[in-house]
Structure 1
């Protein structure tokens, strides 16, 4: 009697192991996908500013070149400062002239004030003389009734009384004219404030002829050179802020659960996939423009009557701050891969 062949049974073992390994690998991949979402729909980003002069003029110095690294405070552009220096010198000269004019006018005003004070004193003196003449006339008139004085003496007293009254009126008019003639330097002082403001503006314009780097960065899109006439507020080139680099990764909305600011991330750049960089989520976008959203007509939404059976999830940008970026590798727009690690403890404030 022959024994049954055990070979078919033993040949199924490797196949079962392979299937089991495949299921385990699939489970691991699904677990990784759920716990550590990743995307290759990502790019490198950094803040930029347009370098613009704030005054018009011809560029006389540009000690930078395209794609150069610069430090905060480095000179980027120098515009011909001669017109602005001349305007400043002119304003300062006008201020000197105006100060001299104010001094001369002040002396004239002082003299007018002295004349007005003298006229007031003359009024007081004329008033005293008029009072005395009036008292003298009254005494003489009483003595005339008793025959102690002559009529001629009374007439002389009346004449003196009228004369001193007239002098008092004349002194009053002279004092009014002297007081009205007193001018001031208020208008000139106001002009001096205006000239001082012009000097400040001229100094500011002169300062604006030099454009310096506000932060450490890299020059980009430089398309001009010395001799070009620069217009105020018209960009000349771009300055990339190399102090902070980001990766903007577009994740499916189904992957955003549990993702928040501070979530750890691992980043790769296609320029050198052998290097990995660490980062943390800076922020999540809360709005994108839908490709097939309904439109609103007369206040009512218009929705397509037919829809696709396959629903594609929307992607939202996630801004990731890069820690210790390689300054020679990071470029705006470079392709990147981002892997989020929400299972790690979140660190905030970074």
Structure 2
């Protein structure tokens, strides 16, 4: 009799624990499929040339405006001098055209009919043409000065330089990224939750985050957004324009996972967030008031 009572008691305790665990999971969804993320800026030179100086090292923290590296500026300095000469020439042509128009206009005023109308029209056209050439020369100088300034590459945000593999003498190409800059003010954690957990979540819910690299130091966050869609694998076009359809077992229905974006609200001083590291996330849902 005692054995039966003990067995029954153990069954009741086990059922109670399972029920409590299920209720806890329902009210506080949890996933180990989380990652630390941040905005990553691709540092891209605007001009082409060999690197002549490097002022940072790989994985260094930088401030916005810090000089990262310099590109050989001799070609662009020469282009600036040429643009300055072209501007001076355009200014001289403009001055001559204006002077000629002024002289002929004064002569026409003193002696009406002494200057043909077509001559005055042509002189006006010369002035307008000289004006257009002057503006083009000014634009050319502006462009040359910009290119010269672009030979110095600066950090656009506070953050961390990573994957910096160029050296002095390396050739960089305009509009080709050379290094990543991680914006230190943009870190967030993204968790992928089963679709069965999403329906009762809402923005503002509290999240407890534990990084695999800091298992004993959980910290807090809040849901800022919940994904509205994921890519569809079944039905996508495969080889020979036929749809891809994955095998499926009728008695098993796997829940899809949707991304949930979580902003970090409190971070212990001894924790350094690093993009791509793994996180476990538990959501504490907000209590809903009865109507």
Please confirm whether the aligned pair reaches a TM-score higher than 0.5, indicating the same fold.
yes
Asked if 1:25 is matched to 2:17, the reply is yes
Q: Report the Cα offset of residue 215 of structure 1.
A: 1.1
Change over 3 Å in CA distance of 1:74–1:303 after alignment to 2: closer
Shift of 1:39: 0.7
Matched, 1:189 2:131: yes
Contact 2:107 2:115 in 1 (8 A): no
Distance 2:74 2:51 in 1: 12
Tell me, in whole angstroms, the C-alpha distance in 1 between the residues paired with 2:28 and 2:42.
38
**CA distance in 2: counterparts of 1:295 and 1:234, whole angstroms:** 32
CA offset digits 1:151-201 (Å, max 9, x no partner): xxxxxxxxxxxxxxxxxxxxx6xx354x44342322211111111111221
Structure 1 residues not aligned, in runs of 5+? 1-7, 121-171
Gap regions ≥5 residues in structure 2: none
Match of 1:342 among 282, 285, 288: 285
**Contact 2:214-2:271 at 8 Å conserved across structures:** no
Matched, 1:242 2:234: no
On the 8 A contact 1:39/1:251 being kept in 2, the answer is yes
Query: TM (normalized to structure 2)?
Result: 0.85
Moved more, 44-53 or 21-30: 21-30
Task: Tell me, yes or no, if structure 1 residue 40 matches structure 2 residue 26.
Answer: no
1:325–1:54 Cα change, 3 Å: farther
The answer to which of 186-195 and 323-332 deviates more is 323-332
Aligned counterparts, 1:78-89, within 5 A: 78-89=70-81
SS across alignment from 2:82:
helix
More helix by share: 1
What is the alpha-carbon distance in structure 1 between the residues aligned to residue 244 and residue 189 of structure 2?
36
8 Å CA contact retained: 1:263, 1:344: no
In 1, Cα distance between equivalents of 2:244 and 2:49? 54
Give the deviation of 1:13 after TM superposition. 5.7
2:111 matched to which residue of 1? 119
Any idea what SS the aligned residue of 2:17 has?
Answer: helix
CA spacing shift, 1:345–1:94, aligned 2, 3 Å: farther
Superposition map of 1:1-350 within 5 A: 9=2, 15-120=7-112, 175=114, 177=116, 179-182=117-120, 183-184=123-124, 185-291=127-233, 293-294=234-235, 307-325=249-267, 329-343=272-286
Counting matched residue pairs gives: 281
Contact 1:264 1:280 survives alignment (8 Å): yes
> Could you say what secondary structure the match of 2:42 adopts?
strand
Maintained 8 Å contact 1:244/1:322? no
Q: Which has the larger radius of gyration?
A: 1
TM-score (norm 1): 0.72
Give the whole-Å Cα distance in 1 for the aligned partners of 2:246 and 2:221. 41
Q: What SS is found at the alignment partner of 1:117?
A: helix
